[in-house]
């Protein structure tokens, strides 16, 4: 697992690595035009609600303005990029959403776990998440929102640095300590781990306990409990329960852990495996 440090924003995808080595493509040289297209889409996605100008994109990716303009126009015609009425601002297009939805619909693990997210949500009345480790981040694949409080910023398709949340810490604890970077790590809240030493100590406790606890490390006012789903080794997916600090009591915490442990067992036993099942890497 390649780990990066220096996260920028919990709502942003990982910034593209514009100079990937050949080993990332299995020894096959990258197709330059394809790599450039992906880099552009990732950059636009990373900007969120901040549209970009032609010059910004060309400078960021080190591409001539004329080449960038031609690429943008091609992607606009295909629905992958959108532009404003003046034609001077660019953002991610609707086809990115459609493709992302297709990813979720085609993933057998997400389909298998969804009913258990519903079960946990009904039993606890809290927000339940499913996420997948992607580099140094966790991508949120499914969410069941609580009706008892305002939603958090963490929705399907959003990302959170793995060191700063219950999902991510549950998954990092499944891996050798040697895979963690030296740090320092970004502090999303005053409670976030910023040093490798403090994170390692927390991961040791998670391994001993069997689940992770995020006490306002990723989002102020929210406590999370994370449980790795071990149908992969090491686990790539995890589920969590998020609770406002004001609603959390010792008794409620005990019930959350009991319910989520049961949900984990059910989910792990249901995920498809064996002949005929596609195992994506």
Tokens of 7: 């996260």
- pLDDT tens-digit series, residues 155-214: 666 888 999 999 999 999 999 999 988 889 999 999 999 999 999 999 999 999 999 999
CATH 1.10.540.10 fits 31-97, yes or no: no
Task: Give the chain's mean pLDDT.
Answer: 84
272 confidence band (pLDDT: 50, 70, 90): low
pLDDT of 61 over the 80 cut: yes
- pLDDT tens-digit series, residues 210-236: 999 999 999 999 999 999 999 988 999
pLDDT of 253 over the 50 cut: yes
Q: Do you find a cis peptide bond into 234, omega within 30 degrees of 0?
A: yes
Burial class (CB in 10 A: 0-12, 13-18, 19+), 145: middle
Measured CA distances, 111 to 114, 118, 153, 224, 238 (Å): 6, 12, 23, 23, 14
Contact 44, 92 (CB under 8 A): yes
pLDDT for 3? 43
pLDDT for 183? 81
Contact 71, 34 (CB under 8 A): no
pLDDT of 275 over the 80 cut: no
Better-scored residue on pLDDT, 152 or 79: 79
Alpha helices in the chain (DSSP H): 32-46, 54-61, 65-77, 94-106, 108-124, 166-172, 196-209, 250-270
Coil/strand/helix, residue 171: helix
* Residues 41, 80: Cα–Cα separation, whole Å: 8
66 confidence band (pLDDT: 50, 70, 90): very high
Better-scored residue on pLDDT, 43 or 255: 255
Per CATH, the homologous superfamily of domain 107-270 is GAF domain (3.30.450.40)
Sign of CA dihedral 168, 170, 171, 175: positive
- pLDDT tens-digit series, residues 6-32: 333 434 444 333 334 334 555 677 788
- pLDDT tens-digit series, residues 98-154: 777 776 767 888 989 999 999 999 999 999 999 999 888 998 999 888 766 555 545
- Residue ranges covered by each domain of the chain: 31-97, 107-270
pLDDT of 280 over the 60 cut: no
Better-scored residue on pLDDT, 255 or 6: 255
pTM: 0.72
Sign of CA dihedral 264, 266, 270, 274: positive
């Amino acid at each position: 697992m390649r780990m990066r440090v220096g996260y920028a924003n919990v709502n942003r995808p990982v910034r593209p690595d514009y100079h990937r080595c050949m080993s990332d493509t299995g020894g096959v040289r990258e197709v330059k035009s394809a790599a450039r297209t992906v880099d552009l889409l990732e950059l636009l996605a990373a900007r969120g609600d901040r549209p970009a100008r032609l010059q910004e994109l060309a400078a960021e990716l080190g591409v001539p303005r004329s080449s960038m303009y031609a690429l943008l126009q091609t992607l606009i015609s295909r629905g992958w990029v959108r532009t404003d009425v003046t034609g001077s601002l660019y953002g991610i297009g609707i086809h990115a959403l459609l493709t992302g939805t297709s990813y979720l619909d085609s993933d057998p693990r997400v389909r298998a776990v969804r009913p258990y997210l519903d079960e946990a949500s009904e039993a606890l009345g809290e927000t339940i998440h499913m996420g997948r480790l992607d580099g140094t981040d966790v991508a949120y694949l499914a969410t069941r929102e609580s009706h008892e409080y305002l939603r958090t910023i963490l929705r399907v398709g959003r990302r959170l640095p793995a060191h700063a949340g219950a999902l991510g810490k549950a998954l990092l604890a499944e891996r050798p300590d040697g895979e963690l970077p030296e740090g320092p790590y970004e502090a999303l809240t005053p409670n976030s781990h910023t040093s490798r030493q403090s994170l390692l100590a927390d991961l040791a406790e998670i391994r001993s306990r069997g689940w992770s606890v995020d006490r306002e490390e990723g989002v102020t006012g929210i406590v999370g409990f994370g449980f790795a789903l071990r149908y992969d080794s090491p686990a790539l997916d995890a589920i969590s329960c998020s609770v406002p600090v004001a609603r959390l009591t010792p008794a409620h915490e005990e019930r959350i852990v009991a319910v989520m442990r049961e949900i984990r067992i059910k989910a792990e036993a249901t995920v498809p495996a064996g002949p005929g099942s596609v195992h994506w890497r």
